Chains A and B, each alone.
Chain A
């Protein structure tokens, strides 16, 4: 039996409920509605399903791009094998990915005081851009974390990868770093 809902809950509110952003009385009201309304229950199921998909990808280390310390902490807490390389400006670091590594995180230290957002550019042999991430908000932690799934790095040949971190407002280079990628160990 399929019945349309006379007063459907907005998708945004369902997402707020699922992520725990509603006050308890509001969350309880959503639950009351969902247990009385199959249409909204199905829509909540769709939100939850995508949320579970995201969590599954993260737990498998299938996470790319700039990540926050909160996300790194959660990955480590969940037992995801994170290979972490920490670089200061000017560093060249030999790096490798090991068979059990789920995700590789490069922590680029820099003086980020007064900087709100940065742009990260990664270049390979011949100065070819392999990744460029613009307007990344920076935290007070003093570094930028760049994550790549271990499975992706295992496919990469041995090469030098140059990383350049710039302030998005064009005030200049915050740090340059080199990963001397030796392939899979």
Chain B
């Protein structure tokens, strides 16, 4: 069976008990399927790209090693194993980061802008699509996705209910995505 056609559990079993180099295709497919999920988890819980990518590397390394050692009991639960490892390692990274942050606070003169990897998303396109949204829609999107304000805080900022913030955000996001996708198709 080709790795690309295998279920997650079958992939885990292809790697289980093998030594380095014996199941490269299955390991690569496992990485392809889970690395982006770990990155998302890292972005959500650790807050920046560098730490999220560190988490991806560490979690995938542990996962492959544990599979090779035969230490993952149920291959069908590989997603749960990877999520559990991500949670444990994220807590550990946060603990280390807090220690580093205390040191940095003592020496850092001011905040700096992090470098922005522009991934696959065309920012010019997003900017142009944003300009087509209403003022309130843009405010809700920037406050939620950039300023990291919860719906309750946004509600206080722009004078609508928390429930309405969620509705506005959902519709604005859908419109933005539709516009970006449409521009992509016509590009």
Contact = CB atoms under 8 A, between A and B. Distances in A.
A53 B113 contact: no
B56 to A, nearest CB: 13
A11 interface: yes
B176 A68 contact: no
B37 A57 contact: no
A71 B146 CA distance: 8
Closest 7 CB pairs of A and B: A51-B145, A35-B83, A35-B79, A137-B159, A74-B147, A36-B79, A12-B170
Contacts of A74: 146-148
Contacts, number: 156
Contacts of B41: 31
B135 A11 contact: no
Interface of B: 4-8, 33-34, 36-37, 40-41, 43-44, 79-80, 82-83, 86, 110-114, 116, 118-121, 123, 126-127, 130-131, 135-136, 138-139, 141-151, 153, 157-160, 166, 169-170, 173-174, 176-177, 180
Interface stretch (A42-50, A91-99, A155-163): A42-50
A84 B18 CA distance: 61
A14 to B, nearest CB: 10
Contacts of A133: 135
B113 A59 contact: yes
**Which of A31, A54, A60, A62 has the most chain B CB within a 10 Å cutoff?**
A54
Contacts of B119: 49, 52
Given A12-B170, A52-B43, 7 more contacts: A1-B5, A11-B174, A15-B173, A50-B145, A59-B114, A70-B147, A71-B139
Contacts of B113: 59, 78-80
A140 to B, nearest CB: 9
A140 B119 CA distance: 38
Nearest to A116: B159
Contact of A62 (B40, B121, B123): B123
Nearest to B41: A31
A70 B155 CA distance: 12
Contacts of A1: 4-7
Contacts of B6: 1
A138 B130 CA distance: 21
Contact of B40 (A12, A44, A137): A44
A19 B170 contact: no
Contacts of B136: 135, 137
